[in-house]
Structures are given as structure tokens and as C-alpha cells.
Amino acid sequence: MREKDLKLAYNNVLAQTISTSQKFLFAGNLFGDIFALSLSELDKSTEEPPNKLQVFPQGSDVDVNCLAFHRDFLIVGSIGLIYGVQWDEEAQTLSTKRAWEIKIPLQVDAVEVPDVNSFWLCTETDTLYAGCGDGVVYQIDLEDGRIQREYRGHTDYVHCVVGQPDGRIYSSAEDGTVRLWSDKQKEPTAMIEPYKNPQLLRPDWGKWIGAVSVNDDWLVCGGGPRAAIWHLRSMECTRVFDYPGRVHVCEFVDDSVLIGGEHNHVQFYTLNGTLQANIPVEHTASYSAVWQMSPFKFMSIAGFSNKLHILKDFRFLDSKIEMYGNLQGDDVENEEEEEYDDEDDGENDTF
């Protein structure tokens, strides 16, 4: 299979983020490519297809596991490494040079370089929280790049980390727990173990919690176990959602809950657990959803397929945008004069 077809067929987008100016959407995949899509076309209610995407390769050794956008930097979480690259809004180019780099410290007993799996960016304090493959959540000061604190406790790698500006952090991990942290306490303030709840446990799929999201009073999380809402004060599970697949995405959106994962639909539920919208997606599994309410309502869902799914009213699928095969400059390279050098064998041809 040619590389082009390979990328087309197996494009796995793990991360997305929207620029501070809210004019661009970035999506990164496991081939180390970062796509940039201009959102201004999507704003208009025209039927025209949006502009082509730009692609900024980060190197084949870089897996783009997670993305965040801070001021004019795109922050990329890869393997054992967080780095920032400057985004030039005028020229619409992503700098090819890394502006800064933070290495995740290797643990004493580590055998593998840990992945950086999830970011939560606190814009009020310019702090980045990174959930990593060694089970630790690192609190990083974006002013000087120092690791301010490590939140230790998870016994397996962290899937997802979110927080609130007042210093409360929530992390979910492969070990099946959701831990609640405060930046003033060393130990987790509380812990949820959904797999211990027989209502939630799906034994064939394990106990891992793939995603967690919070608002003022409620927490939603899911993974191998079913997605469910928990009350933050009482730590009681109050509602179970019947999303049929493994959960990789769950978010509070407006006053509903978005759940996505390894299933051919993503679903919106009310807080009471009734299904509001069932949106078909082409992803084998959905891994990322980003949205904004202003200046216009817009949501993009990405996952293991070559298409970004765009929702404008959060109830129906609006459009699908292809990534590979829809890049700026694609038409030009069609004229490639490939030197068909048969790669099949290195034997010397005696002729």
C-alpha cells in the first residue's frame, strides 16, 4: 500500500484545538501531521465547501497525542515531550522551529518514555496540566516552563485531565479511577471508581476511564465502564447513560452531555439521561471534540478516520471535511514524475 493511501485509510486524529483568535482549528494525528483549518468559511451559511486544509508535518517520529493553544503558541503533547510552536496568524503558517520544549522526567523505574496523553490549560494562571503515560499529572508553568508540581497517585497511565480555575483538578486513568485533586493538598481529595459499581461495569471492556468532564456540581466520566454522572459533593452516581460503545469523549456542552467513543454515533444526552441527538460519524472511534459558542456555534468531532465532522447547532451533522486528499497544494503534486524504481529487491541485476 502506498504511503498516500495508507495515510488516507488509517488517519487517526487524537487531538484538536481552536486558536485564541477563534479563527483556526488545529487537528493532529498519529502520523505526526498537524492540520489547520480556517473557520471563517464555516461561519457563513453558504453551501460552498470550505477552504482546503493546510498541513504542517512534525516529523514521522512525533505522535500528536494532544494539542492546546495558548496566546499565539500551539502546544503539542507527544511522546515524553511537550513543545510549543508559534502560529503566525497573518501568514497562516506554523513555524517549523519549536519555540520551546519541556521534557517529561523519566521515573526511576520507567522502562518506556511516557506519552503525554491529555492537556488541561488554565488560562487564568497560565498553567498547563499534562496527564502522562507514567500515571502522573504534571503542573507546568507556561511562563518559565518549570514543572511546578506532580500529582502522583494513579497506578496506570492517565487518559484525561480537566480542571477548574479555582485549583481543582480531575484526572481519569487506565487504572479505573477518577481522582480529584486540589492544588493545595498533596493527596487526592477524593476518588471515584466506576468499575466497582455493578451498574456501570462492562466486564469485557475493562475498568479504564477514558474521559472525564466537570461543571460546577457534576462530573461525567466513562470508558470501559458506562458513562455516568456523579454529584461532586456527595460522590454519588446519579445517572447512567446508555452509550453503547467504549467511551473516549465525554463533555458538558451547554446543558447537555456529549458522549463519543468506539461507536458509529456520538450522542447528546440531557442531564436526566434522555437521548437528545444521535449523530452518525464515520470514525471507527471518536477521540476528540472541540467546540465554541461564540462568535458562532461550532463543533468539530475527530477520530479514527480521514474526516472531521462539523456540527453547527449541536444536534445534526452539518458537514464532513476530508483531511488527506483535501490539502492545499494537492493538485500540484499530481504531476509527480515518480521514478519507478522497483523497490522489490536489492539484488544486483546482471544485464
Binding site for another protein (CB under 8 A): 1-2, 4-6, 8-10, 12, 14, 63, 65, 111-112, 115, 117-118, 133, 157, 159-160, 174, 203-208, 210, 224, 248, 262-264, 284-285, 287, 304, 306, 325, 338, 340, 342-347, 349, 351
Q: What are the φ and ψ backbone dihedral angles of 128, each rounded to 5 degrees?
A: -115, 130
CB of 16 to another protein, least distance (A): 13
Instruction: Rank residues 42 and 290 by Cβ distance to another protein and give the closer one.
Output: 290
Q: Distance between CA 190 and CA 181 in Å, rounded? A: 7
**Smallest distance from another protein to CB 138, Å:** 17
* Residue 300 or 305 with smaller CB distance to another protein: 305
CB of residue 266 to another protein, shortest distance in Å: 14
What minimum distance in Å lies between the beta carbon of 110 and another protein? Answer: 10
Closest CA to 227 of 253, 209, 206: 209
Contact 319, 300 (CB under 8 A): no
| Main-chain phi, psi angles of 131, to 5 degrees | -90, 125
Residue (12 or 58) nearer to another protein, CB: 12
Nearest CB to another protein, comparing residues 42 and 289: 289
Q: Which residues lie below 8 Å from residue 344, measured CB to CB, with a gap of 6+? A: none
Closer residue to another protein (CB): 174 or 251 = 174
* Cβ 28 vs Cβ 68: under 8 Å: no
To another protein, the closest distance from the beta carbon of 47 in angstroms equals 23
The least CB distance from residue 196 to another protein, in Å, is: 15
Measured distance CA(27)–CA(69) in Å, rounded: 11
- Report the residue number, 65 or 177, with the smaller CB distance to another protein: 65
Cβ proximity of 228 and 200 under 8 Å? yes
CA distance 266 to 310: 12
Report in angstroms the alpha-carbon separations of 101 from 28, 85, 140: 18, 9, 12
Output the DSSP codes for 129-192: EEEETTS-EEEEETTT--EEEEE---SS-EEEEEEETTTEEEEEETTS-EEEEETT-SS-SEEE
Nearer to another protein, 3 or 48 (CB): 3
* CB of 113 or CB of 271, closer to another protein: 113
Q: Considering only CA atoms, give the Rg of the chain.
A: 21
CB atoms closer than 10 angstroms to residue 270? 12
- Shortest Cβ 114–another protein spacing (Å): 9
132 beta partners: 116
In the bound complex, what is the minimum distance in angstroms from residue 59's beta carbon to another protein?
Answer: 17
Tell me how far apart the alpha carbons of residues 100 and 134 are, in angstroms, rounded to a whole number: 22
Asked if 181 contacts 172 with a C-beta cutoff of 8 angstroms, the reply is: no
Provide φ and ψ at 233, rounded to 5°: -85, -45
Beta carbon nearer to another protein, 42 or 326 = 326
Q: Least Å distance between CB 7 and another protein?
A: 10
